[in-house]
Structure 1
Amino acid sequence: MEDIEKTDSIKISTKQFGELEIDKSSIFNFKDGLYGFEDLHRFIIINEEETEPFKWLLAIDDPSIGFPILSPYYIDPDYSIMQDLDPEKHVLFLIITLQDEKGNITANMKAPLILDVTDLEGKQIIILTEKYATDFILNKKAMD
């Protein structure tokens, strides 16, 4: 019996980005999923030049689900999750809502994503402080 060729990539079809070939070594595993999406565990980061500084967190197992994300340091250079992270290993992102019920672009600064770029693991945490909001309104100045 012939061995089935093992591939280092997978193909997914998305409405927003079309057909994508994803290198398996770029897939982040979120063991606990995201809040509200606990059943989704595998995600990739998509960089689109035309949407910079925003990036996209796309669910591999349901490519119809994707989240715009942004580094918190675009909004607050002193942003802190009150945990020690290795800057060589960890990257922080915030999930963005492109248009809330009032038409605002908002950032969830209270529940950031922590990506471990070495082990390709991710998690979403909740910061137990009143300093940050789940619906921080972004303005154009913050993005310049």
Structure 2
Amino acid sequence: MKTAETPTLEPRPGRAENVLQLPLGLLGFEQFKRYELLSRPEEAPFLWLQVLDQPDLAFIVVAPTAVLPDYEPQISDEDVAFLDLRTPADALVFNIVTLRGRNNATVNLKGPVLVNRRTLVGKQIIPLNAADLPVCQPISVTA
């Protein structure tokens, strides 16, 4: 998995409304549990998932509906319970983006990050329909 250089952003010391807890971390980065979701208007619809305990590490993420409106990961009952998702509206889904060149990127549909909007606790999941989803779905990164 590639990450990109963290953008220069105004210092914002982990405001509670942006801090996500991922108790199991991300695949390959299990040691990191606390993240901040950052945005820059000029980079929309892409966001940064900044590792709070390692400032030089961040992941580019995107809400899947911004690039693939038909994306519907099937979430297991175990993941619903782990995240205490009471209604579908509680769930916030992000997918990790990999840059493969200046205007070439892919999005991981097989391992979305699911976050409870109420508690801000998240988990990278493997959807029940993962066999039908690519790890490297090409997406457009140009306006």
Q: State the TM-score bracket (shorter-chain normalisation).
A: 0.7 to 0.9
> TM-score under structure 1 normalisation?
0.77
The aligned amino acid for 1:120 is L
Whose radius of gyration is greater, 1 or 2?
1
Identity value in percent:
29
Q: Distance in 2 between matches of 1:78 and 1:19?
A: 36
2:117 is aligned to 117
The answer as to 2:127 corresponding to 1:127 is yes
Q: Whose strand proportion is higher, 1 or 2?
A: 1
Higher relative contact order (CA 8 A, sep 6+): 2
* TM-score, normalised with respect to structure 2: 0.78
Letter in 1 for 2:133: Y
Match of 2:37 among 30, 45, 48: 45
- Partner of 1:20, secondary structure, is coil
Task: Indicate yes or no: 2:71 matched with 1:79.
Answer: yes
- Counterpart of 1:114 in structure 2: which amino acid? L
Amino acid at match of 2:94: F
Cα 1:24–1:135 change in 2 (3 A) is same
1:16 to 3, 8, 19: 8
1:80 Cα offset (Å): 1.3
**What is the identity, as a one-letter code, of the residue corresponding to 1:44?**
E
Aligned pair count reads 128
Which residue in 2 is equivalent to 1:32? Answer: 24
Give the structure with the larger helix fraction.
2
Structure 2: stretches of 5+ with no match in the other structure: 1-5
Cα-to-partner distance string for 1:74-126 (whole Å, 9 max, x where unaligned) = 232221111276343111010001226x9730100100000111011010012
